[in-house]
């Protein structure tokens, strides 16, 4: 068995393989899932807290305001996100515009906490504005990182899925502690937004 031990070439090969396996990441702008641009876009939304909080907040608020508001928002937000993304990709600046994104999710969180009785059309307008802002930021930051339209489509698909699942759940909630839990979640999102504004001003 000793004679069948690792040969010098085998030892070197193993050494280099191990070295390659633990190679340092490239720290690119976009998350690289290894599954292609579409899934990189999906991961981008999942790993960008400001985007994720906005989608969750709008889903909760649209669900809170009823089926019609939820249906309109379900299509308004992704379309606005995609439009904003395409426009944002042509912006000359590359910034995450944290003040704008914080204001949008913080405002949406406050609307949930106060259970503000907005008309479905007003909720849709809010979704359109928020989608343009966050989509625009996505476009401005993802495009220089090498993302294509496919990547943006992945991000929009993630937005659509989270929105559809959450808002549908919230519309089915009857009066009681579950609807209170939605308001508490909104309060937490708004509170995080307020603290974030402080960090930005610092």
Closest CA to 198 of 109, 75, 102: 102
Q: Considering only 4-12, 35-43, 72-80, 81-89, which stretch makes contact with other proteins by CB under 8 A?
A: 4-12
Q: Which residues contact 162 (CB under 8 A, 6 or more apart)?
A: 45, 52, 55, 56, 59
Per CB under 8 A, does 187 bind other proteins? yes
Which lies closer to other proteins via its Cβ, residue 19 or residue 92? 19
Q: How far apart are CA 119 and CA 105, in angstroms?
A: 19
Question: Cα–Cα distance between 143 and 89 in angstroms, integer?
Answer: 5
Binder to other proteins among 11, 119, 121, 146 (CB under 8 A)? Answer: 11
- Our measurement of the distance from residue 75's CA atom to the centroid of its chain's CA atoms, rounded to an integer in Å, reads 16
Contact region with other proteins (CB under 8 A), list: 7-15, 129-137, 148-156, 166-174 = 7-15
Minimum gap (Å) between residue 166 Cβ and other proteins: 17
Rounded CA separation 170/180 (Å):
11
Interface residues toward other proteins, by CB under 8 A: 2-3, 5-12, 14-16, 18-19, 22-25, 47, 49-50, 53, 102, 110, 113, 177, 180, 183-184, 187-188, 190-199, 201-202
């Amino acid at each position: 068995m000793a004679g069948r031990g690792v040969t010098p070439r085998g030892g070197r090969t193993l050494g280099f393989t191990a070295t390659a396996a633990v190679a340092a990441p490239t720290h690119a702008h976009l998350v690289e899932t290894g599954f292609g641009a579409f899934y990189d876009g999906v991961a981008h939304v999942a790993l960008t807290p400001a985007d994720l909080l906005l989608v969750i907040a709008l889903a909760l608020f649209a669900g809170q305001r009823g089926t019609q508001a939820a249906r309109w928002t379900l299509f308004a937000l992704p379309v606005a996100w995609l439009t904003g993304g395409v426009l944002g990709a042509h912006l000359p600046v590359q910034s995450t515009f944290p003040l704008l994104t914080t204001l949008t999710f913080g405002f949406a969180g406050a609307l949930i906490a106060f259970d503000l009785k907005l008309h479905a059309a007003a909720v849709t307008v809010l979704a359109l504005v928020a989608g343009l802002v966050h989509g625009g930021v996505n476009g401005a930051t993802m495009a220089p990182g090498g993302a294509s339209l496919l990547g943006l489509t992945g991000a929009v698909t993630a937005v659509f899925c989270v929105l559809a699942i959450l808002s549908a759940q919230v519309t089915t909630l009857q009066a009681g502690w579950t609807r209170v839990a939605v308001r508490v979640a909104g309060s937490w999102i708004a509170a995080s937004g307020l603290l974030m504004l402080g960090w930005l001003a610092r």
